Chain A
Amino acid sequence: MKNTTSLACIIDDDNLYVRLLKKIILTRKLCENLLVFNDGRESIDYFETLLQNLNEDKIPDIIFIDLNMPIMDGWEFIERFTKIEKLFKKVITLYIVSSSIDPADIKRAKSLSNIKDYLIKPTHIKELENIFRQTA
């Protein structure tokens, strides 16, 4: 077993947040590689294409997904992703990372069995370290 996560995926339209998250992950070497998408549509396209040619190295171990995004929001992504998740034959841990503190969002996230946790922004450095340690 490796002691770092090999591939993490961030789906978020807030470029600044992505930049900061990247910085934290890379400087602390929390994972080896990072995939970044700006909205749900881009990322679901990636995963659906990946299915046609399964390449273990390109399947992330962990996904951080924002809820409020243009074109395809987080909920729609999760719905689409849930349908194909099993086909990857790999444990992919899904985290929702949102600045929404709306109880309705939190409740909805908890009702989905494949969502590991609902993280409210800002995600603190310690919190991120713990998450990556668990996944690795």
Chain B
Amino acid sequence: MQKEQIFPDVILNPDVGYWQINDNQISWSASFLDIIGCSAQDVHIDLNYFLYTVLEAGQRDIFRYNYFRLLKDGEDFEQSLTLRCKNGILKEFKCKSALKLSQKNGYSNSKIISFIPLKIKPDAHVKDDNFFYRETAEMNSTGSWYVDFIKKRTYWDQETRRIFEYPEDYIPSFKHAASYIAKDHLELAHQLFQQCAAHGKSFKTEIKALTAHQREFWVKAIGKPVYNDQKEIVGLRGVFQDIDDNKLKELSLQKTAEIISSQNKRLFNFAHIVSHNLRSHTSNLSLIMELIEETTDETEKEELLASIKDVSESLNSTIEHLNDVVTIQTRTDQNKVKVNFQDALDLVLKSIISLIIKKDVTIHSDFKQVKSINYIPAYLESIFLNLITNAIKYSQQDRTAIIAIRTYMEDGKTILEISDNGMGIDLEKYGKNLFGMYKTFHRNEDAVGIGLFITKNQIESLNGEIFVESILDHGTTFKIQF
């Protein structure tokens, strides 16, 4: 046979099968064809044919890895293999590449792999274990990895390659490990890795990884140090499990829980209004009626009737507040439109111009950085109105009230900031009630305790957040993140 002749005599042995690879062209020796019970006519001399019909499934990855390392990097390897031989019998072989040998014999461009038969029968249990291990790994989308500090190499099994969407022959990079992790989790990954490498601290975490196609996905990453005989850490090993589906479900569930909890809080406030604020009016009413029935004095009766008017007015305003709260929940479906910050502010200032003149308030606004936003116009106006009138209400008597309003970007989100130089608020004491309904903290006649409650609810119903910072006697800054 023609092909036979290119194999060097020195290593020719009838019991041993040989492969010779010349520039990606594989040739199999007659002895190898004989081992696997095929003739040159009915066999595809091809790596995949070997991997999928001859080689035991559990050994595919390692062999493929070694094979490509040999071809690409010229790294010799040696491993045990189980092959399906003549009549389907499984036999164990020692597989060895002999790059150096072939070079020595002048075959500088060709690589030789030999398959030396071993006398022992393959261990059925080990074989089964491998099979089950592989199945388990595949079903759990769990791949393993190993980072070797000495050789400065990273090794991945086939499953890791699959979940990271890299081709089967991909060789992971030792230097550019950062390219496998999503940008916003790089620091966490770096920290865990360093802790493990330097102090032997194992890690088990959920982290966002990055596939070959730059797709972000969640993995559970477990890592442990690998020690040499001197108890030095020489590498790390561990597994990656693709948990993207579950994690996304978990995150969306978490989001839903947050929405429910905020709605629940609003409901609770309703219950509170009904239980307390509406009841206080009705109980006053019934007390007045009781007094009217008892008294015979006409002037007193008239006086009592006049107080019914007071109750009716308070009842009205409570119901108005209730209505304000209800509309927040129903309005959120409304379409957002592009709103200009300056326009919305001008509209609000126009409506309170007499208050501004009376209290001699200075208002600075700067919307250069972010000029407009997609929002419900009425909400933006209500936010401006509530925070500005609050700032005026709680301004310090002995100095000119100055309110500074500006917009800017932070972490990719639009921020609206409204600061004043007013009396400030003791956040340690009142912080937790600041945005609550009917909570007032100042001895101020027009303190109603509804504005901030409404503002917070409007902002949150559109997935935003409101923060406050304050120094007593210096002023307060409200920061709205849209």
- A interface list, Cβ under 8 A from B: 14, 16-17, 19-20, 23-24, 39, 68, 70-71, 98-102, 120-125
Closest to A20 in B: B287
Not counting A14-B284, A98-B276, A125-B294, a sample of 15 additional A-B residue pairs whose C-beta atoms are within 8 angstroms of each other reads: A20-B284, A20-B287, A23-B300, A68-B276, A70-B440, A70-B443, A71-B443, A99-B276, A99-B279, A99-B283, A101-B275, A102-B271, A102-B276, A121-B279, A124-B287
Nearest-CB residue, chain B, relative to A66: B280
Question: Does B49 lie at the interface of the complex (its beta carbon under 8 Å from any beta carbon of A)?
Answer: no
Tell me, yes or no, whether B119 is within 8 Å of chain A by CB. no
Contact status of A23 and B291, CB under 8 A, knowing A71-B442, A122-B284: yes
- Name the interface residues of B348-406: CB closer than 8 Å to any CB of A: none
Q: In the complex, how many angstroms separate the beta carbon of B269 from the nearest chain A beta carbon?
A: 12
Q: Which of under 10, 10 to 19, 20 to 34, or 35 or more describes the interface residues of B?
A: 20 to 34
State whether B310 touches A125 (Cβ < 8 A): no
Task: Please tell me if the beta carbons of A24 and B449 are within 8 angstroms of each other in the complex.
Answer: no
One of A14, A71, A124 near B290 (C-beta < 8 A): A124
CB <8 Å contact, A122 and B441: no
**Lowest 7 A-B CB distances belong to which pairs?**
A122-B283, A121-B283, A70-B440, A99-B280, A99-B279, A122-B287, A122-B286
CB–CB A16/B275 < 8 A: no
Q: Within B151-177, which residues are at the interface with A (CB < 8 Å)?
A: none
A100–chain B nearest beta-carbon distance, Å: 5
Cβ–Cβ contact B284 & A68, under 8 A: no
A70 near B439: Cβ-Cβ < 8 Å: yes
Query: A24 to B307, alpha carbons, bound, how many Å?
Result: 15
Does B131 sit within 8 A of A, measured CB to CB?
no
Expressed in whole angstroms, the Cα–Cα distance for A16 and B307 within the complex equals 7
Min CB distance, B293 to chain A, in Å?
Answer: 10
Residues of A contacting B276 with CB < 8 Å?
A: 68, 98-100, 102
Residue-wise, chain B 307-333 has the 8 Å CB interface mask toward A (1 for contact) of: 100110010000000000000000000
B192 contacts the other chain (CB 8 A):
no
CB distance from B102 to the nearest CB of A (A): 85
Of the residues B286, B310, B442, contact of A16 by C-beta under 8 Å: B310
- Contact in complex: B279, A100 (CB < 8 Å): yes
Q: What are the interface flags for B266-288 relative to A under an 8 Å C-beta threshold, 1 for contact and 0 otherwise?
A: 00000110011101100110111
Task: Report if B77 contacts A (CB, 8 A).
Answer: no
Tell me if A17 and B284 are in contact (CB < 8 A). yes
- Residues of chain B with a CB closer than 8 A to A16's CB: 284, 307, 310-311, 314
Across the interface, which residues of A come within 8 angstroms of B275, CB to CB? 99-102
Chain A residues, Cβ within 8 Å of B294: 125
Give chain B residues whose Cβ lies under 8 Å from the Cβ of A101: 275, 279
> Which of B290, B314, B447, B449 lies in contact with A122, CB distance below 8 A?
B290
In whole angstroms, what is the CA distance A24 to B300 when docked?
Answer: 12
Q: Which residue of A lies closest to B430 (CB)?
A: A71
Residues of B near A123 (CB, < 8 A) are 287
B447's partner among A17, A70, A120, A124 (CB-CB below 8 A) is A70
**B438 contacts A by Cβ under 8 Å:** yes
Q: How far is the CA of A99 from the CA of B279 in the complex (A)?
A: 6
Report the minimal beta-carbon distance from A22 to chain B, rounded to whole angstroms: 11
| Residues of B contacting A23 in the complex (Cβ-Cβ under 8 angstroms) | 291, 300
Complex contact A71–B291 (CB within 8 A): no
Q: Please report the C-alpha to C-alpha distance between residue A20 and residue B280 in the assembled complex, in whole angstroms.
A: 13
Inter-chain CA distance A99–B282, complex, in Å, is 9
Closest chain B CB from A85 CB (angstroms): 23
Q: Is B307 touching A19 in the complex (CB atoms < 8 A)?
A: yes
Whether B287 and A70, one on each chain, are in contact in the complex, defined by CB atoms closer than 8 angstroms, is no
Question: With the chains together, A84 CA to B317 CA distance in Å?
Answer: 39
Given known A20-B291, A102-B275, A124-B290, contact A14–B280 (CB-CB < 8 A): yes
Q: Which of A20, A68, A125 contacts B307 (CB 8 A)?
A: A20
- Residues in chain B near residue A99, CB distance under 8 A: 275-277, 279-280, 283
A122-B286, A122-B287 given; A17·B280 CB < 8 A: yes
Q: Please, could you name 6 A-B residue pairs with CB atoms under 8 Å apart, sorted by A?
A: A16-B284, A16-B311, A19-B307, A68-B276, A70-B440, A122-B283
B438: chain A residues at CB < 8 Å are 68
- Inter-chain CA distance A125–B447, complex, in Å, is 32
Q: How far, in angstroms, from A64 to B226 measured CA to CA in the complex?
A: 72
A contact residues around B283 at 8 Å (CB)? 17, 99, 120-122
CB-nearest residue of chain B relative to A21? B287
Question: How far, in whole Å, are A116 and B275 apart by their CA atoms in the complex?
Answer: 22
B440 in complex: contacting residue of A20, A71, A98, A102, CB < 8 Å: A71
Q: Would B287 and A71 count as touching, CB distance under 8 A? A: no
User: A20-B307, A24-B291, A124-B290 are known contacts. Are A71 and B441 too (CB-CB below 8 A)?
Assistant: yes
The CA-CA distance from A125 to B288 in the complex, in Å, is: 11
Cβ–Cβ contact A125 & B279, under 8 A: no
Q: Which of B421-439 contact A (CB under 8 A)?
A: 438-439
